Structure 1
Amino acid sequence: MSAPVAHPTPRDRRRWAQYLVDERAEARVYRNLAARRTGEEREILRELADAEGRHEAHWVGLLGGEPKRLPQPSLDTRLLGWMARRFGMIFVLALAQNAEARSPYDNEPYATPAMVADEKVHHEVVRGLAARGRRRLSGTFRAAVFGANDGLVSNLALVMGIGATGVGAPFVLLSGLAGLLAGALSMAAGEFVSVRSQREMLESTGHSDFVDASLPDLDLDANEMALVYRARGMGADEALVRARRVVEAARAADRSQPYRRPVDPVEEHDVVGGAWGAATSSFLFFASGAVIPVLPWIFGLEGVAAVVLALALVGIALLATGAMVGVLSGGPPLRRALRQLAIGLGAAAITYALGLVFGVSVA
């Protein structure tokens, strides 16, 4: 525990007390997350909580003991704690990654160099844990998020362009519903083909049992199996060691059972996701996004009122999806949200302008 400073100012003490409660709250977040995990992830999260506890002890020492009154944790820390108790681990870790990247200790004269270094390491540790979850989500989540975003943008652009030509509200509604169905089917089919093709390509480059039955007959010294590993990028010495180990294992195996080599971890490719899951998610989320721009016409609005409400609803949805992608990717959520909004409304503005230019009068 750190020795108290001889004459700290009231401002120093308020700042240290804030650090104290924030470190304490962050430790609770990691312990809450650890309670919901098992194995190595649980141990890592507990170690992070213990490190925050050491930082907490540093500020208690500078304050000369536990203060009688403490401030509330910062809003970011309280929000993180609330989400840690209610939401999925991947989402919370992504937020924690952003929080660890904003360490206040870089310019804090009373923080030790070890504490500054700890915070930077914590960012990398949390980033690594979040990356595991992102890999597990990659296939279906990508289809879901981008399906919803495509539905929002493409159908908003469609109804804006059609509406600007001067046609009646029923025609705009039918066009929007047709765009929803056509787009959702197209997205699902494209996602299915994409994911299935990616899996097939990876399978063609992964583990093959073509040679396994012949492994016991290979020469240990002139080991052709080494060429297989060299062809995959290993150095000559490492490939020879691996090949010798594989052949020895094959010779030691029960000859009455066909021998199969263990699959190398690098050959696993479950992160691609399932084709049917990706296609279904893409269809549903495109449809859920594409229905939002036509809601005003579904409920009987038309003209300027329908256009303004559609823009407002889609704008909110674009901000939400952009912020979610930003959080889960470890980027700034506000910047991603505004970028998503600008792209979506920009596409709608262009098609609306084209509809005005090529507008027709329907008898």
Structure 2
Amino acid sequence: MPSAAPDLEPAEATPRERRKWAQYLADERAEAAVYRRLARRKDGEEREILLELEQAEKRHEQHWLTLLGEEPKRLPPASFTTRVTAFFASRFGSVFALALAQRAEARSPYDDDPYATPAMRADEKVHHEVVRGLAARSRRSFSGTFRAAVFGANDGLVSNLALVLGIGATGVAPQFVLVSGIAGLLAGALSMAAGEFVSVRSQRELLESTRESTYADAGLPDLDIDQNELALVYRTRGMSDDTAQAKARATIRAAHAGRLPTQAVGDNSYEEVGGAWRAAASSFLFFGTGALLPVLPWIFGMSGVTAILAALIVVGLALLLTGATVGLLSGASPLPRALRQLAIGFGAAGVTYVLGMIFGVDMG
């Protein structure tokens, strides 16, 4: 049986320990409020799950309040992550809040705190999986559109930055760089939208063709129970030979008795794939927005090295934001994803800039 947390009277606690407990208390209260706010925007099972998480956080809150002996006169503010999570929960109730809550549960300080009970440590790990499951539902519902948006924004940023830097490095007039950038924006956005539409529509059609079919059901009453190939149908769906044979005989008997089976043919919503029109629109808008940023310095009349440096700064910040957003929504650390996005974008732009300088020298 796991050991309990050490016994400690409030008067015996050091000021440092009391400050730490007060911080835990503030965080637990804030996390309970986050789950309560998220629950208000949900219904059914998800609402019940979130309300139960709120009650669990209140149990933890009571533990630290008991150790403190009384309500602190001044409670410290909740952690920055918890406050950001509360912001999203109160205003949007979106997957952002669930993703942040998932990361907060994964970084529980209780593993190393001797005054947290083993049950509390176990609770935090279970909470992480519960929130992860809730976030997974939201991620599936918009993953197709989100994929198109991320790819669109990243492609717009990287491809148009590479284009304007490559052309700018040749030494041509600023107006030519601007026109090239605008042309790259329009051509790329239209191409991305068309590609996303065809890709998503084709993927949905392919998945549709793999669904279980009820095509043969109308002929089931006419099948011979001893000589038929219905078992082969079930074997193609992954059943073993014995299971398929048994199911085929039971199905035919039911059909002979006038009870045609109601077969579950699977879900055809394909949430992960998304809608073709939504993906196309998302890709067009986000590619266009991303591709506009590298051109802004030339739109505002800059030229030469100044315009190139300004484009690098603007696009660099956008790449960091895009990468961090992807990391956050996937439940991972945002910083590595942000730096990876920045390295890829600047790497591609650097190659085209060097090539532009080479071609510029050759033309000179």
2:180 to 170, 175, 178: 175
Among residues 63, 69, 73, which one is paired with 2:74 in the alignment? 69
Q: How big is the shift at 1:38?
A: 0.8
Report the counterpart of residue 289 of structure 1 in structure 2.
290
Is the CA contact (8 Å cut-off) linking 2:23 and 2:76 kept in structure 1? yes
AA paired with 1:65?
Answer: E
| Counterpart for residue 339 of structure 1 | 340
Q: Superposition pairs for residues 261-340 of structure 1, below 5 Å?
A: 261-265=262-266, 269-340=270-341
Which amino acid letter does the alignment assign opposite residue 104 of structure 1? Answer: P
Q: CA deviation at 1:64?
A: 1.9
* RMSD (CA atoms): 2.5
Deviation at 1:278, TM superposition (A): 1.2
Contact 2:88–2:94 (CA<8 Å) still a contact in 1? Answer: no
TM-score (norm 2): 0.91
Aligned to 1:5: 8
Which of 114, 123, 127 matches 2:119?
114
- Identity rate, percent: 67
Name the count of aligned residue pairs. 359
User: C-alpha displacement at 1:185, in angstroms?
Assistant: 1.9
Counterpart among 81, 91, 105 of residue 96 in structure 2? 91
Q: Aligned partners of 1:335, 1:201: CA distance in 2, in Å? A: 35
CA distance in 2, matches of 1:249, 1:314: 65
TM-score, normalised with respect to structure 1:
0.91
Could you tell me how far 1:244 is from its partner in structure 2? 6.0
Between the aligned partners of 2:241 and 2:63, the Cα distance in structure 1 is 52
**Pairwise CA distance, 1:209:** 2.5
- Describe the shift of the 1:68–1:202 C-alpha distance in structure 2 as closer, same or farther (beyond 3 A): same
Please say if 1:59 is aligned against 2:59: no
Contact 1:296 1:302 in 2 (8 A): yes
1:239 offset after TM fit, Å?
4.2
Q: After the TM superposition, which residues 161-200 of structure 1 pair with which residues of structure 2 at under 5 Å, given as runs?
A: 161-200=166-205
Shift of 1:17: 1.2
Return the offset for 1:245: 6.3
* 1:149 correspondence with 2:154: yes
Q: Which amino acid aligns with 1:332?
A: S
> In structure 1, how many angstroms separate the alpha carbons of the residues matched to 2:38 and 2:248?
42
After superposition, give the CA deviation of every residue in 1:73-131 in whole Å (9 maximum; x if it has no partner).
11221121122111242111111111111010010101111111110111111111111
What's the CA shift for 1:171?
Answer: 0.8
Q: What 5-or-longer segments of structure 2 have no aligned partner?
A: none
Shift of 1:264: 3.6
* Aligned-residue offset at 1:23: 0.7
1:137 counterpart residue number: 142
- Unaligned segments of structure 1, at least 5 residues: none
- Cα distance in 2 for residues equivalent to 1:84 and 1:270: 23
Q: Which one is further off, 271-280 or 146-155?
A: 271-280
Give the direction of change, closer, same or farther, for the CA distance of 1:178–1:250 in structure 2 (3 Å limit): farther
CA distance in 2, matches of 1:328, 1:222: 54
- Matching of residues 13-32 of structure 1 within 5 Å: 13-32=18-37
Q: How far 1:145 sits from its partner (Å)? A: 1.2
Give 1:42's aligned amino acid.
Answer: R
Aligned residue in 2 for 1:214: 219
Distance 1:23 1:59, change over 3 A: same
**Corresponding residue SS for 1:272:** coil
Q: CA deviation at 1:221?
A: 7.4
Give the direction of change, closer, same or farther, for the CA distance of 1:217–1:13 in structure 2 (3 Å limit). Answer: farther
- In structure 1, the partner of 2:55 is 50
